[in-house]
Amino acid sequence: MRTQIIAASLLALLYAGLTSGFSFNVDATTEECFYEDVQVGQTIGIMFQVTQGGFLDIDIQLKAPDGRIVYNAEKQTEGKYSFVAHVDGEYSFCFSNRMSTLTPKVVSFIATLGDEPQQPKGPRPADLDPLDQAVQTLAEGIRAMEGDQEYMKMRERVHRNTNESTNSRVIWWSFFEVAALTALSLWEIYYVKRLFEIKRVGV
């Protein structure tokens, strides 16, 4: 029994879909696109989040090989979307920062590619034995866990950048306050000194 469980776990790791996550820069007035070959019936999931730059917004568009717009959204800070490919070919994932004239953006992007669709000659779900069903269930669970893990890493990266930015602003504001108080104190000393000098001359 233990051997079957170990074998099922290994098979699930082999059958699990591919999950990839990375961060990239999108300069002002430009667009960055990525491409993936997908088969009909294959599931594609994406997650994205703008981690740095301006108002933390980006335009995104997913396009099928036949030119059909699968997903389109403007000025998004983050998002999740999944779909099933309706045609074979190269799908494009484009992130546009053309609305910004000066500020570049940093985007974290996660793409999950599901299992390839089974051929008609393959076994039907009812024909699978319990071990095969367990493998498929584990594979689905692994894909979900991988996606959640990458999403949590992305969120952690955003929170860390926000904290670092806030800390930096607090430090610079503290320096400004010290400089302003020092300048004000020196000006008051100078003003009081000049006031007594004027009164002494008048006497």
- pLDDT of 3: 40
pLDDT for residue 10: 38
Sign of the four-CA dihedral 120, 87, 45, 20: positive
pLDDT given at position 66: 93
For residues 36 and 113, is the Cβ–Cβ distance under 8 A? yes
- pLDDT higher than threshold 50 for residue 171: yes
Lowest mean pLDDT among 1-15, 26-40, 57-71, 83-97: 1-15
Looking at residue 118, its pLDDT comes to: 53
Place of tokens 């667009």: 31
Question: 98 pLDDT band (50/70/90 cuts)?
Answer: very high
Helix, strand or coil for residue 124? Answer: coil
**Which of 30 and 198 is assigned the larger pLDDT?**
30
Q: Helix count (H) and strand count (E) of the chain?
A: 2, 8
Predicted confidence at residue 203, as pLDDT, reads 56
Rg (CA), the chain: 29
- Asked which of 62-66, 111-115, 191-195, 197-201 is least confident by mean pLDDT, the reply is 197-201
3-state secondary structure of 88: coil
The per-residue pLDDT for range 113-128, each reduced to its tens digit, is 876 655 544 555 555 5
Three-state secondary-structure class, residue 36: strand
166 vs 78 pLDDT, higher one: 78
22 pLDDT exceeds 70?
A: yes
Measured CA to CA, the distance from residue 132 to residue 8 in angstroms comes to 8
